[in-house]
A and B are shown apart, each in its own frame.
Chain A
Amino acid sequence: MQTTNVIEIQGLSFSYDKQKVLEDINLVIEKNDFTTFIGPNGGGKSTLLKLILGIIPLQEGNISIFNKPYLSQIPKLGYVPQNTNINLNFPITVLEVVMMGQNSLKTRLFGYKKEEKERALEVLENVSMQDFAHKNISKLSGGQKQRVLIARALFSRPEILLLDEPTSNIDVNGSEQIYASLEELNKDISIVVVSHDISVILKYASKAIYINKTLTHHDLTHMKEDFKNSDEHVCEIELLEMLGKCKC
């Protein structure tokens, strides 16, 4: 089977105020990959995600998406930001949040089209949140909110879904539900997740990218079955160290 490169990064470096955060990053993400960015806090994983999304301007190196200049391809990306960044008591319904996923809001005047509402309900169904469509978003739990934000990212039918710490501040049950949804979605789209939840993510991911200023690849396909079969707790620190040192 021929694989297509969805994201390709070459020689990327990035610094905040002369402090190098990322150095000479080279990375290829293929179609239907389930990639996770792991690594210590401040290691640059979220920064790399935001560079790919064009939220932070590129300083050095090159990013291409579907073999085209990346900025022209941003509308094909779906993004799920960290839950904590979002205005908590905002008066807005779940349905309205999801419809914000619409690309380039060209003057459509007041209100929403019927097709948009239908599409919003459809993506809410994908993450089992359709019953909450008309609720105020502030009434939802952390895990439910996160699923709404995933629905928002899916609204515009992205070909790649990027998530920044989707399970921080969410209980174990909630996390499992979110990853189960992601696994289902991964049948059609490529997924990139920044996460601290190493043991959970390794159950689902096909590739782990360890980022601590520089980058180390790990192909997880062979490891994955072992994780799925073990119910034992995996020590995250040991795992991190192992992945950090390993030369694969």
Chain B
Amino acid sequence: MLEIFTYTFIQNALIAGLIVSIITAIIGSLVVVNKMVFLSGGIAHSAYGGIGLAIFFGLPMLLSTSLFCVLIAMLIARASYDNRENLDMLIGLTWAVGMSLGIILVDLTPGYQADLMSYLFGSLLAVTSTDIYYMALLLLVVLGTLVVFYRDILAVSYDSEYARLRGVNTKFFYTLILVLSSLTIVISIKVVGLILVIALLTIPIYIAGYFAKNLLSMMLMSAGLSIVFTLIGLTLSYSFDLSSGPSIIIVSSLCAFCVYILKGLSKH
């Protein structure tokens, strides 16, 4: 069994899985406590527009998808900050329009475009070292942001009206959370694909939410859980020749289900 770790693609998959687990745990916690889960679903699907642009114009995939999603996130932040009632409609719009744009751009691109499935459902075993550098860079940015702004982000997430009263620039932090979420979504697409990103951003956080006393412990716990799920999912995927993204998600949702049942039993 251990000989599988000598393959470069397995090593890459493991490293990428670990980094993405930590990032999604941190950002997923912010997404969940700010009730932005479906917003991130919308951004994830609109990412396909960025993928289409990259394919059509022959641009570097990660970079152009990231820029595209950051742009979408900033537009949503701008349109929804003063009027959250718009949010629902905006989510639906970005969700469908981004996806359609991507599909049409791929249609218009001459030549054979095989890889649609890998964007929809992930391809952890096809991670390159460039991807890994990009993921590591994002991890540093996320950790750095957390170290510098943890209290502001906490204040804005918990009670943004009060935070603003105490002199916190809530608009900036609302936008920052959305931008970091969109960058996280783009790298998670490599691991589980854009359709399943929401699961990575929510299931470990949902489990941690049962036990966490504060936001920081929620982030740490979900990072631990996420790493374990990724390792188990990846092993299953390799051993039984299954898709890696869905394997990871099935493992985590089974665990979430068990925790839910056990918690329910312990109440009686």
Q: Residues of A at under 8 Å CB distance from B?
A: 53-55, 74-75, 77, 79, 81, 85-87, 89-93, 96-97, 99-105, 107-112, 134, 136, 152, 156
Main secondary structure of the interface of B (DSSP, over half): helix
Chain B residues with CB under 8 A of A112: 151
**Closest B-chain residue to A87, C-beta based?**
B158
Give A112 to B216 CA distance when docked, in angstroms.
13
**Closest B-chain residue to A153, C-beta based?**
B162
**Closest B-chain residue to A139, C-beta based?**
B213
Chain A residues with CB under 8 A of B162: 79, 81, 100, 152
Task: Say whether B212 faces chain A, with CB atoms less than 8 Å apart.
Answer: yes
- The answer to whether A96 and B161 have CB atoms under 8 Å apart is no
Among the listed B148, B159, B209, which residue makes an inter-chain contact with A109, where contact means beta carbons less than 8 Å apart?
B148
User: What are 24 sample pairs from A and B whose C-beta atoms fall under 8 A apart?
Assistant: A55-B164, A55-B165, A75-B166, A75-B167, A79-B162, A79-B165, A81-B161, A86-B158, A87-B157, A91-B33, A91-B209, A91-B213, A97-B158, A100-B162, A102-B166, A104-B168, A105-B152, A105-B168, A109-B147, A109-B148, A111-B150, A112-B151, A134-B213, A136-B213
Q: A29: shortest Cβ distance to chain B, in Å?
A: 19
Chain B residues with CB under 8 A of A89: 209
Q: A162: shortest Cβ distance to chain B, in Å?
A: 10
Q: Residues of B at under 8 Å CB distance from A?
A: 33, 146-152, 154-155, 157-159, 161-168, 209, 212-215, 217-218
Chain A residues with CB under 8 A of B165: 53-55, 74, 77, 79
Chain B residues with CB under 8 A of A77: 165
Give A97 to B218 CA distance when docked, in angstroms.
16
Chain B residues with CB under 8 A of A102: 166
- Counting from the closest, the 3 A-B pairs by CB-CB distance are A104-B167, A91-B212, A91-B218
- The answer to whether B214 and A91 have CB atoms under 8 Å apart is yes
Chain B residues with CB under 8 A of A92: 154, 158, 214-215
Give A77 to B164 CA distance when docked, in angstroms.
13
Give A53 to B161 CA distance when docked, in angstroms.
11
Chain B residues with CB under 8 A of A81: 159, 161-162
Q: A164: shortest Cβ distance to chain B, in Å?
A: 11
Given A100-B154, A105-B155, A110-B146, A90 and B161 touching (CB < 8 A)? no
Q: A16: shortest Cβ distance to chain B, in Å?
A: 14
Q: B83: shortest Cβ distance to chain A, in Å?
A: 13
Q: A234: shortest Cβ distance to chain B, in Å?
A: 33
Given A55-B161, A87-B159, A107 and B148 touching (CB < 8 A)? yes
- The answer to whether A85 and B163 have CB atoms under 8 Å apart is no
Given A100-B154, A100-B155, A136-B214, A105 and B161 touching (CB < 8 A)? no
Q: B7: shortest Cβ distance to chain A, in Å?
A: 38
